[in-house]
Chain A
Amino acid sequence: MMHSDSLFTALRRSLLLGTAVLTLGATTVHAQSDTDLQAIEKDLNDVGTRITRLQDLTDVEIVQDAYGYYVDKAQWRSLAGLFAEDATLEIGGKGVFTGKARVFEYMQTGLGPIGPRKGGLIDHQQFQCLPTIHDDGVTAEVRCIAFVMSSGGWGHNYYEDDFVKEDGVWKFKKLHGPFNMYSSYKEGWIDHVIVNTFPEKFKPWPDLPPTTIYLTYPSYYAEPFHYPNPVTGKAAPTPSPRAGGEAFGR
């Protein structure tokens, strides 16, 4: 941006240097240059940190998107490889699975054996990813949509995931997938929707109970946002369970 601090700083320093060249002798310029060089190095590294954050946004989304592509084809070993050793996984109402090994078990035992099966479509598409890199540069969060087109029909869920950067590599720290809507293909979401899973619905059993108990469509549930409104900087309000109905006095 034209008015960024670093640009101003740079311009100001250029000006200072120009003045120095005009008014002082060459030896003084050399002495001034040393402080000047340190300042330039600092400014270059500061802009470098901003550039790293830009790449971090891309890298975090890559881990999330790679997860989706691995689910598509039941590549569970590759998928589990995306998680930190002590990561957790919670999808729908099934409860929490702790550690990389349990992530693998959840996938393989819960969702089916490794590799694609003829006639079994499980496309787990990742849409609309909104990553946030925190100021510490080593933790991040993402909100993302999984839009499912499968042999069973439609699915729409969010991900609100946490990431950690370990040895320069972004990994899942917490995968959290609240459901929005699951339905068959034939009728769509007009009726007979699946309102959520639950701990005993299928094996394996979870390590911890669900962090939230909720019913999804046709009931209302809004997963909290990890980020404030990008324009106002304020957190979203708590939704009202009374919203709608007689909205306009009808």
Chain B
Amino acid sequence: MKSPLHGFSVSLGILCFALAGTAHAQSDAARVAALKTRLAVLAKETTQVEDITKIQRIGRSFGYYTDKGFFGEAADLFADDATFQWGNDGIYKGKAHIKELLTRQGGGSMKEVAGLPFGRLNLRMQLQPVVTVADDGNTAHARWREWGLLGQYQKEISWGDAIMEDDYVKDNGVWKISARRYYQNFVSPYGDGGWARLKPVNNGQVSKVGQEFPADVKAEPYPMFPVSYIPPYHYAKGKPTAIMSDAPVNPPKRADDKIGKLETLADTKALALGRARSVRAIENLQAMYGYYVDKGQWQQASQLFSKDGSYEFGQSGVYLTPAHVEKALRLMGPKDLEAGQLNNFVMVQPIIDIAADNRTAKARWRSDVLLSRAGKGRWGGGVYENEYVNDNGTWKFSKLHYYVTFWGDYDEGWQAKPFPMDPPSKESPPDQPPTLVYESFPTLQVVPYHYANPVTKEPHKGE
């Protein structure tokens, strides 16, 4: 985006601080006018953060509705003239067609108000949003991941994997989805090696539902897994505003008069809002990182680190600076991955704590990991304890540390066939040894919590 609202607002905020700095030299009228300008900016920026949470709510509601066959409710999340591209089946237009598409894909009935028949499983988890609200506050974009547990009792069982890129529109004050591009990556059987042994399909192959209920318009075909295809990012060009927040500022000393008290109150509110915005920026940053790692985009992923940022994965040691982080990431596979390689690191369960001054942050996350290498599938699970820095208004990783809980064979499962962690690489050795030596499953490690108990406020000292 050429002139992001956010940049404008931040500059305006700084300007206000600058004006306030010369408060003594100003007339009271000018100070009051400056306060009013700040108030307007605060109100506008609060709306922008609220908009992010509202869009997250729509995406998550979609999952809860489709899980249980509330397909009419799911279709109601779309604008009247919305479009829905379902994989290579094509583009469905309007709410009525979207409802029928979801009903057929989910195994429901157009004759009943909601529900699913006995034996139908349609759990479609909606995860890892990156939400970008446009300058004008009237349109927005989001990237989501869908992870599906699908099946028919005693007949069929499969995994679903898809990336979605959505457009949203604010219509009479209400956000709606105006376009969804559902890039299905695979629907794989549970047995027979799962996704790792999927055979290539022809580009543009239409699903059974797509044949019975054809789309309104053809879509540009794209390749599915085992080809490693990267669905286009809405934030690919220019500065990604989704990871931006207010640049850190030193709260100015205000005059000890009535107006000065209000200026201090405005400073307090601005800081609180900056911190609330930072929570969403860090959610977006972690999600963006995950999407790059998914697809072997090592350079893009490493550019999300600060200049002295560090990266530590399992027992592989610590890499310092983005250039070395990229080197470490490359140990997972070639750039953009090879056909047959799956590298899904699902980013979930955030506990984000922004420092009181909005300059740094810490967060705990976890990843489920779905891998495939040379026709063999693998599960993984682990916990991140990360640190972030607000670099003049853009959030970056200052430390990423992934603690491996388990690695497990797909065919036999993590219980029957767990794998140990990799030792430090000889080919691209780390800058420092592991900060904590531990073993993964079947041994279990309590990963240190960066936070005190959120209710009792007591630090965790073991049980």
Contact = CB atoms under 8 A, between A and B. Distances in A.
Contacts of B457: 169
B446 A242 contact: no
A109 interface: no
Contact of B39 (A6, A77, A129, A154): A6
B339 interface: no
B262 A232 contact: no
Given A118-B444, A126-B349, A247 B109 contact: yes
A127 B349 contact: yes
B108 A244 contact: yes
Nearest to A84: B455
B383 interface: yes
Identify which of B58, B121, B273 gathers the most chain A CB atoms within 10 Å of its CB.
B121
Contacts of B276: 51, 54-55, 58
A101 interface: no
A229 B76 contact: yes
Chain B interface SS verdict (over half): mixed
B415 interface: yes
B247 interface: no
B84 interface: no
Contacts of A13: 36
Interface in A1-32: 1-4, 6-7, 10-11, 13-14, 17-18, 21, 29-30
Contacts of A63: 454-455
Contact of B368 (A40, A125, A128, A191): A125
A55 B175 CA distance: 21
Contact of A82 (B272, B449, B455): B455
Contacts, number: 328
Contacts of B258: 34, 37
Contacts of A120: 444
Contacts of A77: 463
A185 B415 contact: yes
Interface in A106-122: 114-121
A164 to B, nearest CB: 11
A205 interface: no
In order of increasing CB-CB distance, the 5 nearest A-B pairs are: A244-B117, A243-B115, A116-B444, A239-B115, A1-B47
Interface of B: 28-29, 32-33, 35-37, 39-40, 42-44, 46-51, 53-54, 56-58, 60-61, 63-65, 67-70, 72-73, 76-77, 103-104, 107-121, 123, 125-127, 136-137, 149, 151, 153-157, 170, 173-176, 190-191, 212, 258-259, 262, 265-266, 268-269, 272-273, 275-276, 279, 348-352, 364, 366, 368, 379, 381, 383, 405-406, 413-415, 441-446, 449, 451, 453-458, 460, 463
12 contacts: A2-B137, A44-B265, A47-B43, A55-B275, A130-B60, A189-B121, A189-B149, A222-B70, A230-B54, A237-B70, A244-B118, A245-B117
Interface of A: 1-4, 6-7, 10-11, 13-14, 17-18, 21, 29-30, 33-34, 36-37, 40-41, 43-45, 47-48, 50-52, 54-55, 57-59, 61-63, 65-66, 68-69, 72-73, 75-78, 81-83, 114-121, 123, 125-130, 143, 145, 147, 149, 151, 153-154, 156, 169-171, 180-181, 185-191, 217-220, 222, 225, 227, 229-232, 236-248
